[in-house]
Structure 1
C-alpha cells in the first residue's frame, strides 16, 4: 500500500531496490508544485544551500542539485537523512549563495562527513542528518539558529512559517532554477494525524504545515531544505500528506527541536 514519497530526486537503482524489497513509500497523492510560492534569493536566505553530487556541482543543468539543506554553522549543514543515506559523504558537495542554479556564483564546499540519525527508517522516521564541510563557508553566508526543546512558540498551530527550495514548479515536473519560498502556517498535530491514516505522522518527530489559501507546499527536489519560523530552523523538508478540501496538501517536516541535542553534538 502506498504511503508517502521522498521529495528528493531518487536514484533509479535505489528506487528499484526499495520496490523489490517491499519498502517503496510512493504516495497516493503525488508531490506538487509550490503553488502560491514566490521567488526569493540567497541574499534573503543566506543559510539556504543546495546538496549536489560533487562531480556535478558546477555543471549544467542546475549545478547538479538534488536536495536542499540549511547552514547552521560555517562548516555544518542540516538536511534530511533520506537525501544522503545512499550516498558516500565524499561524493557530496554543498553550494551556498547560488540563487540561480544555472550560474557559477556562490561558494562550493566538499562534504567530509555525514552523520545520519542511527534510527532513520525507510518510512522517514528520524529523518535528519548533519554534514561536515571541508572548509568554513564565508561569513556572508550567515548560519541559521536551530530550534531547541525550549522553542515551543514556533510550533504552535497557526504560526507563520516559510519553506525554501529549488524543487519542482508544477504538475509538468518543471524544475526550478531559482530559489523559491512559500509562506505556510503550522497545523495542529491532530489535523496531521487525521490526514495520515497509516499512522506515519508522529508529533514527537514531525510537524506539518500548509498554505490554506493557495495550497502552497514543498515539492520534489526540496527535501532536506529549511522550514523557518521565529528566525530559527524548526523543520526539515521530509514528505507530503494527502490533503482534503478543508486542508490543502500539508508538508511534513522533521521536528528539529526534537533532535536539538543530537544535532548539537554534531556541531561541536
Structure 2
C-alpha cells in the first residue's frame, strides 16, 4: 500500500510515503511530494485505470481540489458536505492549496470555483476540512455513521491518473466499483475502510475522493496499492484504504457544524 501524495515520487509502503510527505512539507516550496505545477492538466482521456466515466448525477457532490486560484491545477478530489464545507484527504494539504471547483464533471472547466478560506486537518487521521470563501449551494454528500461490513459493494469517484505514473488525469469524473474488505489504517494511522478494487483502481489525483455506500460518504481515499505498469486486466488483487468518516464525525461537527444524516 502507498499514500497518494499527489506527486510522482511514489513509494510502495505507507511508512515511507508518510515520511516523504513530512519531509516535503518542511522543505518543498509548493505542493508536498509534487514537482512544480505544470501549465495545464496535460493530455486527458475518458477512462482511467479501468472504471468508467460517471454520470454527473451519480456523484454531484464530487469536487476538484486545485493548487491555483483559477481551479485548473487539480491534484486531489473531495466531496462537498455543506454549502460552505468540503472534505478531502489530509495528505492533500499544502500552503499551495488555493481553490475548489464544484458542480461540474469536467476537469478544470465549468461549474463554480471558490477559493479556500481555511483548512482544518484532523488530528487523528487522513481527513482535511476546507472552508469555502463564499458558500455554494449544491449537492452535498451525507455522512455515514457506520463502517460497512466486509463484502459490501461500494463506489469510488475522482479525476485521477489514467494509468500508474502517467500524470495524465481524466477529462471527466470517473467511477469504479470496489468491495469492502474490512478495517485498516490510513496514511496517518487513523482507522480506515479497506476496499478491494473490482472494475477499476484509484490512482494519484483521486486522493481524498469519496467512497460511497448506499448514497452515503463512508470514507475518503488515503492510500492504494501500486499497480504494475499500465492497467492490469483485473483489479481484484489491489487494495485501497479510505479514512473512515464515522471515526471523524464529532470532529467534523465541532469544526464545520455538519452532522451525519
Question: Which TM-score tier does this pair reach, normalised by the shorter chain?
Answer: 0.7 to 0.9
Aligned length: 225
Task: Answer whether contact 1:75 1:135 (CA < 8 A) is retained.
Answer: yes
Task: Answer whether contact 2:48 2:162 (CA < 8 A) is retained.
Answer: yes
Task: Answer whether contact 2:187 2:223 (CA < 8 A) is retained.
Answer: no
Structure having the higher helix fraction is 1
Task: Answer whether contact 2:73 2:108 (CA < 8 A) is retained.
Answer: no
Residue 61 of structure 2 is aligned to residue 47 of structure 1: yes
TM-score after normalising by structure 1: 0.73
Alignment partner, residue 176 of structure 1: 170
Q: Aligned pair in 2 of structure 1 residues 183, 92: CA closer, same or farther (>3 Å)?
A: same
TM-score after normalising by structure 2: 0.75
Task: Answer whether contact 2:84 2:131 (CA < 8 A) is retained.
Answer: yes
Alignment partner, residue 258 of structure 1: 247
Distance in structure 1 (CA, Å) of the matches to 2:64 and 2:187: 27
Alignment partner, residue 211 of structure 1: 197
Residue 121 of structure 2 is aligned to residue 135 of structure 1: no
Task: Answer whether contact 1:223 1:238 (CA < 8 A) is retained.
Answer: yes
Alignment partner, residue 87 of structure 1: 95
Distance in structure 1 (CA, Å) of the matches to 2:100 and 2:111: 10
Alignment partner, residue 162 of structure 1: 155
Q: Aligned pair in 2 of structure 1 residues 7, 15: CA closer, same or farther (>3 Å)?
A: closer
Aligned match of 1:232 in 216, 227, 233? 216
Q: Aligned pair in 2 of structure 1 residues 19, 65: CA closer, same or farther (>3 Å)?
A: closer
**What is the DSSP-based 3-state SS (H/G/I as helix, E as strand, rest coil) of the residue aligned with 1:262?**
helix
For structure 2, the residue ranges without an aligned partner over 5 or more in a row are 11-18, 27-31, 34-46, 228-233
